[in-house]
Amino acid sequence: MLLAQDGFEYPPAPAMPTIGEIRFVGNKITRPEIFLQAMLVKVGDPANPEMIERSRQAIMDLSLFKSVTAGLLQEEGRTVLLITVKEKYYTLPIPKLNRDADNNFTLGAQLRMDNLAGLNQRLKITYETEKVDTSDDLTTTSRLEYAYPRVRGTPYDIEFNVARTRLPSDTLVDGAPQIYEAEVSTAGLGVARWVRQDLPGMGWRAGSGLTWNKQFYDVYAGAPQ
């Protein structure tokens, strides 16, 4: 009992219940560990409404779901934190068609796959062709991009990309025609670490990476420069 200044005794505030179970509903693809590593509460923690709401928002910030709701249930004398989600479509083909102000025409397609294996891995495969208005040559670009945030529950993120571009050209060199094709290949690997592990997916990251680049020219006619 609490004794107020007026001498009246008030009953103590009810204790905050403890989370006895965290249950996920609606995750047909996403694995439970992806939720747990984003949340700020765990089994055994007090059912603090503010921390539950921050956890709900952290799950929403993964950009994997259309909606996320959180609620408390009482079952067999224990408190259950119920997280209900509505998943997005994770495989999305995207046509790419563009014509800019300089009359350059771009045509291609991209296949985007999010949440691979239910682990929030992301993969993008892109193929594009570009035609410059002043030339009949087509520039083609193939690109693959992969990202795996919080690898196996660790504070590390991995990103990888590889691309190849072919640029045909028909030019004049010292008045003589030169026909060649340039091929530019690139690859990159980056690793980053979240500085604070008690705030998963929030705050500062520190990392480094490597980039590889190769340029090759195949001359079909004319003297190579």
Average pLDDT, the chain: 87
Helix, strand or coil for residue 32? helix
189 pLDDT exceeds 90?
A: yes
- pTM passes above 0.85: no
Average pLDDT over residues 201-215: 90
Band (1; pLDDT cuts 50, 70, 90)? low
Predicted confidence at residue 41, as pLDDT, reads 94
Q: If you ran DSSP here, which 8-state letter would residue 209 be given?
A: E
DSSP 148-200: ESSGGGSSEEEEEEEEEEEEEEEEEETTEEEEEEEEEEEEEEEEEEES-SSST
Give the pLDDT mean for 73-95: 94
Residue 202: the pLDDT is: 72
Q: Say if CB 170 and CB 179 are below 8 A apart.
A: yes
Would the pLDDT of 176 be above 70?
A: no
Residues constituting the chain: 225
Identify whether the C-beta of residue 45 lies closer than 8 Å to the C-beta of residue 105. Answer: no
Among the listed ranges 57-66, 104-113, 127-136, which one has the minimum average pLDDT value?
127-136
